[in-house]
Amino acid sequence: MAFGIATIGATLQGSIGFGLGLIGVPLLILIDPVFIPAPLLLAGLMLTLLISLREHHAIHVQGLKWAIPGRIAGAVIGAALLTIVPHDSLSMLFGAMVLLAVAISIAGIDLPLTPGNIFGAATFSGFMGTTSSIGGAPMALVYQREKGPRLRGTLSGIFVFGTIISLISLVFIGRFGLKEIQVALVMFPGVILGFFLSSRTAKILDRGFIRPAVLVASSISGIIIIIRNII
C-alpha cells in the first residue's frame, strides 16, 4: 500500500510540482503513523532532487532567492504559534485560506510574480507545512500561470532546501534516525516509478492543462486539511 501511495503521489508531484504530501499524509498515517513525518520527508527529498535535475534549465533562480527566506520564516512562525494556538484551529484556518485563494484565481484575479508575492506565498507555504504537513499549494498558486517546467523546477528547488531544514530539525528532537530511513526505503521504489511516469504525464499537462491541474490539486489540499481536523 505504501508503494502504491508513493507512486501516485510522486506521479502527481512530478507532473505539477507538488502532491506527494497531499496524497501521502492522509493515507500513510492510516497505515502506520511511523511514515509521518521523517520517512515521507526523506522520500520527498529524493523526489524533489530528481525533479530539480530534470527541470534545472527552467528554475526561476530569482524566485528561489525570495522563496527560501520566506519558507524559513513561515516554518519558524508556524512552530512558534503551535505552542500557543491549538493545532486544529491553525490547520482549519489555512485550509480555508487555500480554498479562498483558489476561488480568487478561478475568478480571474491572479497575483503578479513579484518578490513580495513570492516571499509571502513561501511564508504561507512554510507555515502550512509546519502546521499540517501539506504546504505546496500556496507556491503552486503563485506560479500557476508559468509554464510547467518552470513551475515544477522552481517548486522542487524550494522544497529541497525546506525538506533538508525539516529533517535536520527532526534529528535534534530524536524523530529522524535509522528506523525512519528504513521505513522510507519502502517508499523509494514507488517514488522512482512515479517520477518516471510523471515524465509522460507532465508532457500531457503542459499542453494547456497545468493551471487547471494546480487549481484542482490545491482545492483538494485545502479540503483534506479541513476534513482531517473535523474528523
Per-residue pLDDT of the chain (231 residues), as tens digits, is 999 999 999 999 999 999 999 899 889 988 998 998 889 999 999 999 999 999 999 999 999 999 999 988 888 887 777 677 775 666 677 788 788 888 878 887 777 899 999 999 999 888 877 766 678 888 999 999 999 999 999 999 999 988 888 888 788 888 899 999 999 999 999 999 999 999 999 999 999 999 999 999 999 988 988 887 776
Q: Are the CB atoms for 205 and 148 separated by under 8 Å?
A: yes
Q: Which structural domain, as residue segments, surrounds residue 217? A: 2-230
Q: What is the pLDDT of residue 220?
A: 92
Domain count, the chain: 1
Cell, residue 13: 508531484
Residue type, 197: L
End-to-end Cα distance, the chain: 22
Q: What is the pLDDT of residue 146?
A: 94
Q: What is the pLDDT of residue 77?
A: 83
Q: What is the pLDDT of residue 219?
A: 93
Cis peptide bond N-terminal to 37, omega within 30: yes
Q: Supply the DSSP string of 179-220, one letter for each residue.
A: HHHHHHHHHHHHHHHHHHHHHHHHHHHTTTTHHHHHHHHHHH
Instruction: Identify the CA nearest to 165 among candidates 5, 3, 34, 44.
Output: 44
Q: What is the pLDDT of residue 19?
A: 93
Q: Could you tell me where the DSSP H helices lie in 83-114?
A: 87-106
Q: Are the CB atoms for 40 and 134 separated by under 8 Å?
A: no
Q: What is the pLDDT of residue 87?
A: 59
Q: What is the pLDDT of residue 90?
A: 67
The SS3 assignment for 39 reads: helix
Instruction: State the Cα–Cα distance between residues 32 and 183, nearest whole angstrom.
Output: 10
- The whole-model pTM stands at 0.89
Q: Residue 164, Cβ neighbours under 10 Å: how many?
A: 13
Ramachandran class of 146: left when φ > 0, alpha when ψ lies in -120 to 50, beta otherwise = beta
Instruction: Identify the CA nearest to 148 among candidates 219, 106, 224, 200.
Output: 200
Q: What is the pLDDT of residue 170?
A: 84
Q: What are phi and psi of 135, to 5 degrees?
A: -125, 15
Instruction: State the Cα–Cα distance between residues 210 and 218, nearest whole angstrom.
Output: 12
Instruction: State the Cα–Cα distance between residues 53 and 56, nearest whole angstrom.
Output: 5
